[in-house]
Structure 1
């Protein structure tokens, strides 16, 4: 007989508590109803065998209960099957006890053992009891049908008893298969034959032993003592064999599992390692806590049915320290389990996380504790972890601790942790100036308002727009403009208190949060310090200097304002200051935004610019690092505002996405890029035709209309689809994976290529490289800037190039500004490059001259032959 264990029913129930539990109860009730009906109508009227044993059914029930204690646990895939000696008693009882008494004895005895010894409750207990009742009832019915006209005990009766035992086994396996299918929402029919192959031979052997016991008891009861001797020897030999196999398996698993720590990237390696640890201990969860020398701690976790967690900061490192102390005081060693004497800290830890049991081992070497390795939620009917499990976990922990002590693993993990922190910092700070960006500024302002609501100390916000920045940028170039912005950011930060925040919102716009209490006179002192800094010339390098001014708007918060309104008031005051003559400051006053002196609605201004044809497309050449020739160009949208001149894309692209105008801008850029690329041909050139790359926004990646827009643009320009490359950032790609996958596959069907822009600055998981149809990786400018100066930048760039090569993808190095950077990326194996070293973004006619082999215009150094 087989019963469903925690590894099957219980683990599956944990996965489908949303509605599936009710379906299991319906199945259980159906099994119980069918079994009870058959028992009353068919089984009870069946006659008692001619030969009986003077043992009441209660005695048989006790025997069945004992048989459920003496069991063999065999893991199979994700379930654990439990084989009991109940089949021995069932086969013998067929011949010597009334059928109804046999069914009652087995159900009652096994049910009591499941309840008291295996501690089954609720759905699992009810299901196992119902399945057992149905199987036992069908077994005695089949036995009675096969022996209806036979009398006494003979080989036919023995064969009928074996068939009846197999009927019980098949019934149990089918019921278990049904409940697993309900839990998973599908029926994997390949699983059922495997279950039957595993259970039928054991049941057949147990039934045969039962018949031998019955014949021996009837013919010569004293001979049962002789039968016990070989049975005991076989059992002891089996235990020794399984113990040896277990040790051999543990050594294999130990080697394979610890070796996973050095495969793939750290996140993937940790996930695979902890999943292997869970499988080794048949556990629902495995956790690795690493303690830093600075008192910090990280948590990595693999839990059944959930995405793995890698190196997440642990909010309460002291809890890990308490677990270390728990191990030391509970057993005097480095390993303990729930329920052990002195292990209250682990008991509380397990209870807080809903774990029914757990064991933990300290990762310690001489003079240092590196962390903890924990497993919990034992699967299967085995009550909890035993001494052998503790010994194996301690061995795992020693291997991991040794790896940490040697430094290689800890160094790798620390690098990943530092990289994640760096990426988090980048997401909240401006890359150029290092100041907080708009997102972080709004978050800090919201917190300041919430605090002021409790203590009454209201903050103020300054909105700053630089006057004279555009002429500097146009006259001296992009690098000079960057120098000016960085210098102003540094000076602005120096004008503030430590608690205040300076942020760059985009372009030449900055903002300042002044914490309360502060009034107009306090704000004025800050403004005076900023004005004093603005009077000082800024060294742009190469003997060039510049002086800029600033229009500043001020809004002081009160109890009736929210963060959006506060910033809007400061913005309105700034625009009023700019309209008032520039270089002045203005405090917000009620009605300031209603007199027409504030800036127009940005969305309406953007829409009007599109309607008036103020947008153009410029192109930045891509250079083949092997031949030195132009291999294509990237299409970049530009907005020439009638009063402000060229506005950088980072000032209007987010607005376009917010207002929904990004689709219209994207379609405009796509059509122009295809039309221009169709002109980039050289009749005498037998090399590959130049490509054109176009950026897709988050909205375009998931919009099903994008595919048709691309198809139409290609057809209109008569452009070979292979020459069009669509660029997507990692973050955009992961926002809606299903829609992105669907659209990208449809786009690939058109024949276009797909590139990942700014690769390495978004998601650390590399799984999407296998999921999405990609052709090209663009190494982010942040990494190229650090080549030769930052070892991490060298490592990351080399890793990206090697990864792309292994996957058969092209690599493009962005932001090449020096010959040294060009040589470096070429040595690393990059295929293409772009940057100011070769050319700034240029208009369509200029890039046409480059692509068709005409003389390159001034400022464009891309070789044309």
Structure 2
């Protein structure tokens, strides 16, 4: 919602028409007020309240609208300032929860009260804004009730958005009318600019209001949950605008002070002051320069709106300026509206010159004071100079003083000094992330350890190794890996205190120095912050998002002889954490380097988890790309740890492979999968092509009991053998070809089917496709992810599908996450697909519902049957 907050003080006599601008504004205000009253009496008052309206006093609604007007963001245009308030949020809520009469009355009076008490508006300006509020509320109600009757209750939110948009357009048109009167011409570009600023904000606020209204209607107790995020959004938006303003001012600082380097001409100085006045949106900018002897020979340069600039003129009131200069020199910078103290003198100076406020700063360098820079008369009633402006002016003054004192030779010397500092910085910092490198980090650790020896306040070192960095680097390239490393570095900085140090040692290894005093609890809090930051997804590029974990080792600085030992202890603890599969972090203790004991402990924990039933099987549906129907699922294992929560396979499968526990886990998953698949078949007997796929590890294929285990699982569940697909990787086949071939043919004799997982990433030999009893090829997710973006992935995927078709094999596309990938694999001829686009891995009891669905997603386009191609999905039941 926008309001006019200034412009009446700029009223001037024009030659257009017989009415003055002030009289025209009065006429416009009266017209808006009459229209608002007429609409209210004739149309709005008889309207019924919404079915969800609450029986609340109108005073409460008035207070809500008043609060909405207090929470504003200001936008400045020439001598007019416009406010975007949260009144649109309150309006959206009131459309559903207040009666029409309450809404109009509360909006006009409540918002008007805020204008009087908070913004100190009076007279014509106040009358105009109140009339505009009343008209906007009436128009919004008319639109809301008209559209609600047409759209119905299910789409009443559309009517509400249209109503809020109508109120915003009404306000913008009224403001545009004021602009036109003051400018004496119609400038439609300004209307477009105004709409571009107000409409998105109004719709966003209205959207939040709809959420509030629906919460009140459906679950009033949850309303309190919306309070904090709503306030955070307002505060964040105001912080954003403040940060943007500060960024713009800093850019102007560079541009403005660079004008002084154009030469010592009067034109350059005049341009400088004009730019300063523009940067601070002020009526006047003034520069007082002292002569070589101080007060004698002092000059003033001034730029003021509507007057010719004054450059290097003798001071006409040296006493006033020198008093301000003494105060600014002692205080750093001055501002008005302080009432007492140094600011009172500046208040008097500004009032004598017809300025409502002012800020001033001394031009000073290390050895002397050169003059005074003063800016006065902030344009706009609702805005004044802030602490940010004061700090910025002080920065301006310092730059000006430096520029005036130093010639180009000194500037060149400063550039040489900066270059030396830059080279020194590069020698001690990682060029990719900007973090300290190993040299600087070890130096700071040495200082911390030496200080601990004297004070007894010991530091701590964290050693971090990223989990999942190498797959990102290998899959998406080094540029994506660099983005990930820079992001991790930035987040590490944000987790630490100013006295702490984060560094990159190389690759994906980071270290952190926590200066003392610090104990295990303090370390735990830091690790918790780091974990929370690493859990936030990282955008690597277009449509590529990833997350990484970290193995973290900690070494406490108690009784550590030197910095190198402290870092090595943290390194040892990090490797122990990496092997421990899921520990949050590990603190170094003597003997921790004994990896055998650590591995034994982890193996025992995993074995106990198997015995306790903590491992459970989840399923990811498989989709027939010809029909769009779910036809089965892949069985996957998860560890429901009683302390750490759900552990993914990459946290324990490696340990299971090393320890041999993978055979027990594989037998468990195989039994669960066959049992669940038999239930799906019983629930959907007409779906003859239902299947389940289970991964076999290298140890399982080499296990003499594997054939007996598969046969027992089929017999116990009653599952037909052809519905079970056993997946193996190419690496498994190449490990011991003869033994693998014998085992696979025995399994094939049971009637099950064999699939090659991640085909194309290993050996991809035609010989084993002919030698082994293969029924399916699974296209690796690395190739699927690049479809449509990488021509090589398109060619490889097409070649795999065509090869499978030639050999009469089915193809399964893994990792389908976008509609484009789904359409591409279907067009290439893949028979089956799986991935997050269709479903994430889900519990067994949820799979039945998926299996009974006729289509898994509306956006999946079924592929026409190709009768000339072998290995189609229709063969699933009989292959």
Using the size of structure 2 for normalisation, the TM-score is 0.43
Give TM-score, length-normalised by structure 1. 0.44
